[in-house]
Amino acid sequence: MTKTRTASFQAIKTEILGKIKNGYWNPGDIIPGEESLAESYGCSRVTVNRALRELAEEGFVERRRKSGTRVSLNTSRDARVQIPIVREEIENKGATYRYELILNEEVVAPTDVCRKMNLQKGVKALHIKCLHLADEVPYQFEDRWINLDHVPAARETDFSEVSPNEWLVRKEPFSEAEHTFSAMLADEETANMLEIEKGDALFVVERRTWREKNSITSVKLSFPGASYKMTTRG
């Protein structure tokens, strides 16, 4: 109603969010349609549309054609996590980055890897293990499988120079990624690699990426738990 002079989708977003916050509209309620809101805010429908679209992206409302826009029931919130490139992450801390290739072989993928990457049984894939160091201190142990069907170029790449992480980012950008975070105890191999004790805490990130529904890679990144923190704002 109060037509803010600097009328904008931003102001409308804030106003609508305010009405959700203070209980004017409750979870599950349907809020007025775009047209009606546009009229009451004295702006065009496109502007209201953008405000609502962004609120929907941020999870505050849910929209459906015909039935309209309603305040989300689900109170959970999205937060953004930055998934950095290891090298950049280390260098941003002012440390010197070093990379060490441990293993690079084309072998038949074990069944759990086949499942994760939608591979047929018995198909060969590229298995790579490597270590990322910050100022010569082990920082991250990487255990990766690459789908050679979709990334054949990986076969002829010299991963002793470039880390598969960076190479893939540059050559094979992904469209979809799935990350799983968990905590576990270090097994012997990982402990040796990271120069910690077997049974120490590990922060583990498992990442699977796809390009147009084609599986590209599946990787397990292990960090010494005490040292790794990932921060996000939400």
Partner DNA sequence: GAGTGGTCTAGACCACCTG
Partner DNA sequence: AGGTGGTCTAGACCACTCA
Rule CB under 8 A: which residues touch a second copy?
A: 17, 20-21, 74-85, 88-89, 166, 169-170, 173-174, 176-185, 199-204, 223, 225-226, 228-234
Out of DNA, a second copy, none, which partner does residue 64 contact, by CB within 5 to 8 A per kind?
A: DNA
Alpha carbon 234 to its chain centroid, in Å, reads 14
The C-alpha atoms of residue 49 and residue 222 are separated, in whole angstroms, by 43
Q: How far apart are CA 147 and CA 151, in angstroms?
A: 6
Q: Which does 42 bind (CB under 5 to 8 A by kind): DNA, a second copy, none?
A: DNA
Q: In the range 65-84, which residues lie near DNA by CB under 7 A?
A: 65-69
Residue identified by tokens 């992206």 is 57
Please identify which residue in 15, 27, 29, 53 interacts with DNA, judged by CB under 7 A. Answer: 53
34 binds, among a second copy, DNA, none (CB under 5 to 8 A by kind): DNA
Q: Are 159 and 167 in contact (CB under 8 A)?
A: yes
Q: How far is the CB of 186 from a second copy (least distance, A)?
A: 9
Contact call for residues 112 and 150 (beta carbons, < 8 A): no
Minimum distance from CB of 87 to a second copy (Å)?
10
How many residues interact with DNA (rule CB under 7 A)? 27
Q: 194: buried, middle or exposed (CB in 10 Å: 19+, 13-18, 0-12)?
A: buried
CA separation for the pair 13, 152 (Å, rounded) = 47
Least separation, in Å, of the C-beta of 51 and DNA? 8
What is the rounded distance in angstroms from the CA atom of residue 225 to the CA atom of residue 126?
Answer: 27
64 binds DNA (CB under 7 A): yes
| Partner that binds at residue 10, options DNA, a second copy, none, CB closer than 5 to 8 Å by kind | DNA
Instruction: Find which of DNA, a second copy, none residue 20 binds, CB within 5 to 8 Å per kind.
Output: a second copy
Which of 220, 225, 129, 124 lies closest to 178 in space, CA to CA?
A: 220
Task: Using alpha carbons, select from 152, 149, 160, 166 the residue that is nearest to residue 219.
Answer: 166
Using CB under 7 A, which of 17, 56, 101, 201 touches DNA? Answer: 56
Q: Does 19 bind DNA (CB under 7 A)?
A: no
Q: Which is nearer to DNA, 7 or 81 (CB)?
A: 7
28 scored as a contact of DNA (CB under 7 A): no
β-bridge mates for residue 68, sequence order: 64
Residues 6+ apart with CB under 8 A from 161: none
Binding stretches for DNA (CB under 7 A): 6-11, 33-35, 42-47, 49-50, 52-53, 56, 63-69
